[in-house]
């Protein structure tokens, strides 16, 4: 072998080293790309209280903090608009005067009345006085007498609410309560705001458990993971919904309730009996493309029971997760639910 000249074997080994280093570099570069795609965008998170519940917002944007207050403002202004507990609200004006010309409330009622009709009155926003009488979730919670329930039921009924464009009329004595859909309405308005801001890459907002997911949280477009609270153990998840953009709402017998003589009285009233629903379902989660609809459908389904609820969800093309008293879980529609 001549001095200064490498043998064929040595050349082969050098090529091998170069190949290993190249593979390592390519591997690292690939990992860098994957990591970059999997890393969440810059975000801001805020917890606050409004609409008598907890608001959680996480917004992904270059300067996410600037969107926190506008979202909170939307919720606060809606609260003053559709709250039936605020005597100064627009909805209270409808309840006291019997008539109102308002496009926001008329649009909301249009959706509500449709769900009422399709659920055979299981969902009914005309039960304001009945809800007030039960007062569940307040220190004055009680079980009204049969006579009282019967009397109050006579003042309820979604068919007593009429719409003519933006003009709303309610029969005398009827009190409209949008509490069951208020959080979903808020989610709809927040979604409109988020979509109008081109710098927002993604967001997840919870208004008291009514949720919207928007856009992406990383470049890879990984799905949002929405946990469903276990109906009998607050510190556990029932499961996790993997989803892209949409709305999620859960209704359960565990949110607000009181117990008397060993009986649990929860806050979701059956429009046909005037009493807390007793359909066999204790938790219903609905996923669909509208906040108000996910709220209304989850309430309606809890009242209807599994069989009719499934038919209702199918009618709307919505998906859902039902939990019955024996903790049996039923998954309805096109939904990626891990449990």
Partner 1 sequence: MSTDKKLTKTLKKGDLFIIVTVIAITLVWFLAPFSGREDNLKLVIYLDGEAVETAQLSTLTEGKSFYVGGCEIYADSEGVKFVSSVCSDSLCVKRGTMTRAGDTMACVPERVVVSLKGGSSTHIETY
How far CA 42 is from CA of 39, 182, 200, 216, 310, in Å, comes to 9, 30, 10, 11, 39
Residues near 273 by beta carbon (within 8 Å), at least 6 away in sequence: 149
CB closer to partner 1, 18 vs 103: 18
Quote the least distance from Cβ 110 to partner 1, whole Å: 25
**Which of 2, 4, 5, 49 forms a contact with partner 1 (CB under 8 A)?**
49
Q: List helix spans (H) across the chain.
A: 8-38, 68-82, 90-97, 103-118, 128-134, 146-153, 182-196, 291-304, 306-316
52 lines the binding site for partner 1 (CB under 8 A): yes
Q: Do residues 104 and 120 lie in contact, with contact meaning Cβ atoms separated by under 8 Å? A: no
Q: CA-CA distance, 339 to 319, in Å (whole number)?
A: 16
* 274: phi then psi, degrees, rounded to nearest 5: 75, 10
The dihedral of CA 26, 30, 33, 35: what is its sign? Answer: negative
**Which of 182, 184, 209, 215 forms a contact with partner 1 (CB under 8 A)?**
209
255 lines the binding site for partner 1 (CB under 8 A): yes
CB closer to partner 1, 155 vs 330: 330
**Which of 44, 72, 151, 218 forms a contact with partner 1 (CB under 8 A)?**
72
**Which of 41, 44, 56, 331 forms a contact with partner 1 (CB under 8 A)?**
56
Residues of this chain, 108-137, that bind partner 1 according to CB under 8 A: 137
Which residues of this chain interact with partner 1, rule CB under 8 A? 7, 9-10, 13, 16-17, 20-21, 24, 27-28, 31, 34-35, 38-39, 46-49, 52-54, 56, 58, 72, 137-139, 204, 206, 209-211, 213, 217, 224-229, 234-235, 237, 240, 248-250, 252, 255-256, 285
């Amino acid at each position: 072998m001549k001095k200064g000249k490498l043998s064929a074997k040595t050349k082969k080994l050098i090529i091998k080293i170069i190949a290993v280093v190249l593979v390592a570099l390519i591997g690292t570069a690939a990992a860098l790309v994957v990591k970059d795609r999997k890393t969440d965008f810059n975000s801001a998170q805020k917890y606050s209280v409004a609409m008598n519940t907890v608001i959680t917002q996480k917004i992904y944007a270059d300067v996410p903090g600037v969107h926190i207050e506008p979202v909170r403002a939307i919720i606060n202004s809606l609260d003053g608009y559709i709250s039936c507990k605020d005597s100064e609200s627009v909805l209270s004006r409808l309840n006291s005067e019997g008539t109102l010309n308002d496009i926001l409330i008329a649009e909301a009622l249009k959706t509500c009345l449709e769900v009422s009709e399709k659920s055979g009155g299981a969902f009914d926003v005309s039960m304001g006085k009945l809800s007030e009488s039960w007062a569940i979730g307040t220190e004055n919670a009680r079980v009204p007498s049969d006579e009282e329930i019967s009397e109050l039921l006579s003042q309820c009924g979604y068919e007593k609410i009429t719409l003519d464009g933006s003009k709303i009329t309610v029969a005398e004595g009827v009190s409209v309560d949008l509490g069951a859909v208020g959080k979903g309405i808020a989610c709809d308005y927040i979604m409109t705001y988020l979509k109008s801001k081109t710098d927002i890459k993604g967001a997840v907002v919870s208004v008291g458990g009514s949720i919207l997911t928007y856009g992406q949280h990383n470049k890879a477009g990984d799905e949002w993971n929405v946990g469903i609270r276990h109906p009998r153990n607050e510190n556990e998840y029932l499961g996790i919904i993997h989803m892209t953009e949409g709305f999620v709402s859960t209704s359960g017998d565990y949110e607000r309730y009181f117990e008397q003589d060993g009986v649990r009285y929860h806050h979701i009233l059956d429009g046909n009996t005037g009493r807390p629903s007793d359909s066999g379902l204790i938790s219903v989660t609905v996923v669909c493309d509208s906040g108000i609809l996910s709220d209304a459908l989850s309430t309606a389904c809890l009242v209807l029971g599994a069989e009719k609820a499934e038919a209702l969800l199918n009618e709307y093309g919505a998906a859902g997760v039902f939990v019955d008293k024996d903790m049996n879980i039923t998954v309805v529609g096109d939904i990626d639910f891990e449990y």
